[in-house]
């Protein structure tokens, strides 16, 4: 339902993405892996509308969304959990969630808050605390919960496991799998390539702004080149 064709984008004179193609089908978890600076975050920024592409076309549910600003792509059903969580630090946990439901009707918002509290019970306990007083893991859960408040059709997550303790990383990946059963498609950017490929239906490997490999999660995990470059060479 998301198709990206021939996207070129960058920052001023710096060209980052070079003729990039990528798809996410209905019901899929797709992961995008690549080294630091490969352009993963830039891909997500272009899709969400934070960065206008120089060339190329993006369509979502057969409609062209190239260059739409973020508040409009969100209304189409594309939501970004940004790199670094970006919690609103002077607002309470509940206010952060309400902001996540900004585009929705008041009565729908209340039931979504309940659903998020069920998914992340810790957030219910913390609901009156300010965002800045949460631990890193709690902030990550809040960032995901806040994104779900908009009822996205496609959820894009930029390194959701970054900076989390191993046990929390597992929990976040479990939640991501749960989301798929909740009918949300997912585009996942991860440093943790092994875990990401394990839960993904398909994966793309990005190197200096170009897709160099793509395939099913299982194929990529057993690919020699990927093992050497992204999976530390060990067997998984």
Partner 1 sequence: MFLQQLINGLTLGSTYSLLAIGFTLVLGLLQMLNIAHGDVFMIGAFLGLTFSLLGMPLYLALILAMIGAGLLAVIIERLCFRPLRKAHFLMPLLSTIAFGILLQNVATQMWGSEPSRYPQTMEIAQFHLGSVQISSIDIIILVVSLGFMIGIDLFVRKTRFGRAMRATSEKPQTASILGVDVNMVIIVTFFASGALAGIAGVLTALVYLQITPFIGIRQGLIGMVAMVIGGVGSLRGAMIGGLMIGIIEIMNDAYFTASYRDIILFGLFFVFIVFKPEGLFGAKER
Binders in 82-141 for ligand ATP, by CB under 6 A: 83
Determine the Cα–Cα distance for residues 168 and 184; give it in Å rounded to an integer: 21
70 binds partner 1 (CB under 8 A): yes
Determine the Cα–Cα distance for residues 205 and 202; give it in Å rounded to an integer: 10
Select the residue whose beta carbon is closest to Mg ion and give its number: 41
Determine the Cα–Cα distance for residues 209 and 15; give it in Å rounded to an integer: 8
SS3 content of the chain, % helix, strand, coil (to 5): 40, 25, 35
Only one residue has tokens 């810790």, namely 122
Determine the Cα–Cα distance for residues 42 and 55; give it in Å rounded to an integer: 14
- Binding string to partner 1 for residues 1 to 40, with x set by CB under 8 A, is what? ----------------------------------------
167 binds ligand ATP (CB under 6 A): no
Q: Which CB sits closer to Mg ion, 57 or 83?
A: 83
Minimum CB separation from partner 1 for residue 81, in Å? 9
53 binds ligand ATP (CB under 6 A): no
* CB atoms near residue 210 (< 10 Å): 15
193: Cα separation from own chain's centroid? 14
Partner whose binding site includes residue 221, from ligand ATP, partner 1, Mg ion, none (CB under 5 to 8 Å by kind): none
- Binding string to Mg ion for residues 100 to 139, with x set by CB under 5 A, is what? ----------------------------------------
State the alpha helices, DSSP H only, in 120-223: 121-125, 136-148, 166-181, 193-199, 217-221
Q: Which CB sits closer to partner 1, 184 or 229?
A: 184
CB 76 within 8 A of CB 60: yes
Binders in 183-202 for partner 1, by CB under 8 A: none
Binding residues for partner 1, rule: CB under 8 A, are 48, 50, 69-71, 74-75, 79-80, 82, 86, 88-91, 95, 98-100, 102-103, 106, 146, 150
Binding residues for Mg ion, rule: CB under 5 A, are 41, 83
């Amino acid at each position: 339902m998301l198709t990206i064709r021939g996207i070129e984008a960058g920052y001023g004179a710096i060209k980052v993405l070079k003729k990039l193609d990528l798809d996410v089908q209905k019901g899929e978890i797709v992961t995008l892996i690549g080294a630091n600076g490969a352009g993963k975050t830039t891909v997500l920024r272009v899709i969400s509308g934070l960065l206008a592409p120089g060339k190329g076309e993006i369509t979502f549910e057969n409609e062209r969304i190239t260059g739409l600003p973020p508040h409009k792509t969100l209304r189409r059903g594309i939501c970004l959990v940004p790199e670094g969580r970006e919690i609103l630090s002077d607002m309470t946990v509940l206010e952060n969630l309400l902001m996540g439901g900004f585009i929705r009707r008041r009565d729908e918002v209340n039931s979504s808050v309940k659903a998020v509290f069920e998914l992340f019970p810790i957030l219910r306990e913390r609901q009156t605390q300010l965002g800045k007083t949460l631990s890193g893991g709690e902030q990550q859960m809040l960032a995901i919960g806040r994104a779900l408040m908009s009822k996205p059709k496609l959820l894009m997550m930029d390194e959701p496991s970054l900076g989390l303790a191993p046990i929390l990383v597992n929990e976040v990946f479990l939640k991501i799998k749960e989301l798929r059963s909740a009918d949300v498609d997912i585009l996942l950017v991860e440093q943790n390539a092994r875990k990401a490929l394990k839960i993904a239906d398909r994966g793309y490997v990005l190197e200096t702004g170009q897709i160099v490999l793509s395939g099913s999660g299982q194929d990529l995990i057993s690919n020699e080149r990927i093992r050497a470059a992204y999976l530390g060479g060990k067997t998984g």
